[in-house]
Amino acid sequence: MNSLITLPLLIPFFTAIILVFFAKNIPVQRWISTIGSISTIIAAVFLAITVYTDGIQTMNLGNWEAPFGITLVSDMTSILLVLTTSLIAFVCLLYSFRSIGKEREEFYYYPSFFFLVLGVNGAFTTGDIFNLFVFFEVMLMASYVLLVLGGTKIQLRETIKYLLVNIISSGLFVMGVAYLYSVVGTLNMAHISLRLHEMGQSGIVTVIAVLFLIVFGIKGALFPLYFWLPGAYYAPPAPVMAMFGALLTKVGIYSIARTYTLFFTQDVGYTHGLLEILAIFTIILGAIGAIAYSDVKKIIIYNIIVAVGVILFGVATFTPESLTGSVFYLIHDMIIKAALFLLIGIIIKVAGTSNLKEMGGLIHRYPGLGWTFFIAALALSGIPPLSGFMGKILIVRAGIDAGNYWGSGIVLLSSLFVLFSVMKIFINGFWGEAREYKQQEKVPVKWLLTAPVILTICAVLYGLGTEALYPIISTAAETLSNPEIYINAVLKE
Amino acid sequence: MMKTNNVILETATKVIVFIILLFSVYMFFAGHYEPGGGFIGGLMASGAIVLLLIAYDIKTVTTILPFDFKKVTAVGLLFAAGTAAGGLLFDKPMLTHWFTYVNPPLLGKMSLHTAVLFDIGVFLVVVGVTMTIIQTIGESE
């Protein structure tokens, strides 16, 4: 029995539960969470190897046959995302040890952290649409706690907005599932796909597709539903911000990619055309935000929105090549966004401000920080040997092959603006004369810096190892572009 | 403010609390064949404790029930997660349950099901969460 598939869910779950018992004992909490996090990574690696050698892994929970019970499905896409999530969680945890502060650690920071990991891993692994909703809620509730924990004024204000938006979108999600259930009469994702393909094209399915796009668009910050994100992500402390920026929107994107490749493939001209237009507007609006602000946090936050647009443009083009590009870019973006958020967390800590105009000359005191940021910034914008290149080139090439010159042109141009926005941080923050900082003596950043350095090294290796990774990721995209593989693996016909 | 003498409420509570608790246990065990189960049983049990809180005060109730309800929640989660993971130990998928019929002397034929363990988890989580919410709001000034 392939019990391996449950481990990326069960390990964070048990870790979170056990951590509740040691709420006041911070050293014990740190040890338990380190062990839990490392074993999640190990389990994910083994599962990835199994999926690569033996194909898609499934488990019917409670030993009920496929369409009747809940099925956990781990195909290449989801296991790669689970692996990336576990890695980012571990790195953010290392960063949290030195930065989050005693008062947050004593009030269930680590249990909430692991419930977030559980929710994200679960959402990537599940093969049941209602179970996806439940894991969304697990993830969101943990994120509410992490967002508000600490209770500063800005956190309280932004949590109210974030809570309100997400409750409404969860309500819409339930409505979407209810409509879908009344049309197809099943909740298992493979079975839904099968039924929808048997039914053929009908208007109500397109309506449901758009409703799902709205729901996941709110979760994944798609134009015009991204309005809540810049404020909400501005509030929490750096490691939480890194977790949010790297994971939460990506679950929305994954859900769009999953539903739009598995379910709604009948009326591609309308649904994917709509997605394409929204993706392009997302890129434009994100790029405008990224160059407009001179606040380091805001710049990186708007870069999330640009990346959401780029990935979804690849999904909307809907060819094997563009889907490969999307998966490539999705994983790259998770890693590099976490690295950048952690880096600007350090920058804000040493400069004492998040305003670019009050910074300058950081490179003299913190060369390691400066060059790591430089490499991460180049990787973000997709300079060839680094990680962002391959995904974007595939997306652009597939877009041009599909005759979509405008969209591809905008994706290419967005790279320029992204590069401009992060180089603005580098030039204004690191070059020039050193300003008067609030702290006169050097802030020790060595330990904090290890976390983003690990991620940046991963990003560089990811870029250099493109050749080796390409077959793995094209396997992932093959499952996306060819739903029969998924359906056969789950329903075993 | 002088404390009013709540002798009728307190005396009535002493009797009623046990009836509510019994009913919650009944509901809990009825869950498999009739309406009921861990969730409603847990809510009713915490309803009984809330009645105690109304009749007496938070301090008295914490002396009667000296639990940290956050840990009660965690124990409940352990029950649920343990039952879920238990299937894996016997080379079956997660959340696989077993049942068997037994014939104890007085009670007659009855079935024992591992889903009850899962339901105990739900019961404890519901009690823990409800009481944590109420006590936290009640204590904060």
Please state, in angstroms and rounded to a whole number, the distance separating the CA atoms of residues A304 and A421: 12
**Min Cα separation A52/chain B (Å):** 21
Q: Which residues of B are less than 8 Å from A14 in CB distance?
A: 81, 85
Q: Write the DSSP string, A369-437.
A: HHHHHHHHHHHHHT-TTSTHHHHHHHHHHHHHHTT-HHHHHHHHHHHHHHHHHHHHHHHHHHSSS----
Residues of chain A with Cβ-Cβ distance to B77 below 8 Å are 13, 17, 20
Say if residue A442 is exposed, middle or buried (CB neighbours under 10 Å; 0-12, 13-18, 19+). exposed
Cα-flanking dihedrals φ and ψ of residue A134, to 5°? Answer: -65, -45
B111 dihedral zone (left: phi>0; alpha: psi -120 to 50; beta): beta
Chain A residue whose CA is closest to B85: A10
d(CA B6, CA A56): 66
In contact, A43 and A10? CB cutoff 8 Å: no
Q: What is the CA radius of gyration of chain B?
A: 18
Tokens read off for A322: 């563009």
Minimum CA–CA partner of A60 in chain B: B93
Could you tell me if A159 and A147 are in contact, meaning their C-beta atoms sit under 8 angstroms apart?
yes
Number of H helices, E strands in chain A: 22, 2
Residue A440's pLDDT is: 59
User: 């449901």: which residue's tokens?
Assistant: A208
Give the burial string for A21-50 (b: 16+ CB within 10 Å, else e). bbbeeeeebbebbeebbebbbebbeebbeb
- Average pLDDT over chain A reads 91
Token pair recorded at residue B78: 């352990």
Give the whole-angstrom CA distance, residue A253 versus residue A416.
23
Q: Which phi and psi angles does B110 have, rounded to 5°?
A: -145, 155
pLDDT given for residue A232 in this prediction: 92
pLDDT of residue A351: 84
Comparing alpha-carbon positions, the chain B residue that sits nearest to A1 is B91
**CB within 8 Å of A225: residues ≥ 6 apart:** A214, A217, A218
Single-letter residue type at A283: I
* Eight-state DSSP code of residue A188: B
- Asked if A14 has any chain B CB less than 8 Å from its own CB, the reply is yes
Min CA distance, B13 vs chain A (Å)? 33
CB pairs under 8 A between A and B: 49
Q: In this complex, do B71 and A10 lie within 8 Å of one another by their Cβ atoms?
A: no
Query: Which amino acid does the sequence have at A358?
Result: E
Give the CA-trace dihedral at A450, A456, A460, A463, to 10 degrees.
150
Query: Contact, A352 vs A345, CB < 8 A?
Result: no
Predicted TM-score (pTM) of this structure: 0.94
pLDDT tens, position by position, for chain B (141 residues)?
A: 556 788 999 999 999 999 999 999 999 999 888 998 999 999 999 999 999 999 988 888 889 889 889 999 999 999 999 998 888 888 888 888 888 888 888 788 888 888 899 999 999 999 999 999 999 998 877
Q: What pLDDT, on the 0 to 100 scale, is given for residue A189?
A: 93
pLDDT tens-digit series, residues A181-212: 999 999 999 999 999 988 877 889 999 999 99
**Predicted pLDDT of residue A437:** 61
The distance of B123 to chain A (nearest Cα, Å) reads 16
Chain B contacts of A23, Cβ < 8 Å? 70
Q: Which of B84, B92, B95 sits opposite A1 (nearest CB)?
A: B92
Note the pLDDT of residue A438. Answer: 56
Q: What would the pLDDT profile of A375-423 be if each residue is shown by its tens digit?
A: 999 999 888 888 889 999 999 999 999 988 999 999 999 999 999 999 9
User: What does the angle CA A248 – CA A254 – CA A256 come to, to the nearest 5 degrees?
Assistant: 110
Nearest residue to A426 via CA among A376, A353, A383, A384: A376
Cα–Cα dist A119/A82, whole Å: 11
Q: Which of residues 91-120 of B touch A (CB under 8 A)?
A: 91-97
Q: Which two tokens stand for residue A294?
A: 């001179």
HSE, side-chain direction, 13 A CA sphere, residue A212: 28
- The model's pLDDT over A251-301, given as tens digits with 9 standing for 90+, comes to 999 999 999 999 988 888 899 999 999 999 999 999 999 999 999 999 999
* Cβ(A81)–Cβ(A235) below 8 Å: no
Phi-psi region at B73: left, alpha or beta (left = phi > 0; alpha = psi -120 to 50): alpha
A6 touching B, CB under 8 A? Answer: yes
Cα A144 versus chain centre, distance: 17
Mean pLDDT by 10 residues, chain A (493 residues): 86 94 91 95 94 90 88 93 95 92 89 96 94 95 94 93 95 96 93 89 90 94 91 92 93 94 88 93 94 92 94 92 93 94 91 84 87 93 88 93 92 93 91 68 78 93 91 90 90 76
Give contacts of B114 with chain A, Cβ < 8 Å. none
Q: Residue A436 has what pLDDT?
A: 62
Kind and range of the H or E run holding A103: helix A102-106
Residue reference for tokens 């029995």: A1
Contacts of A59 in chain B (CB under 8 A): 93-94
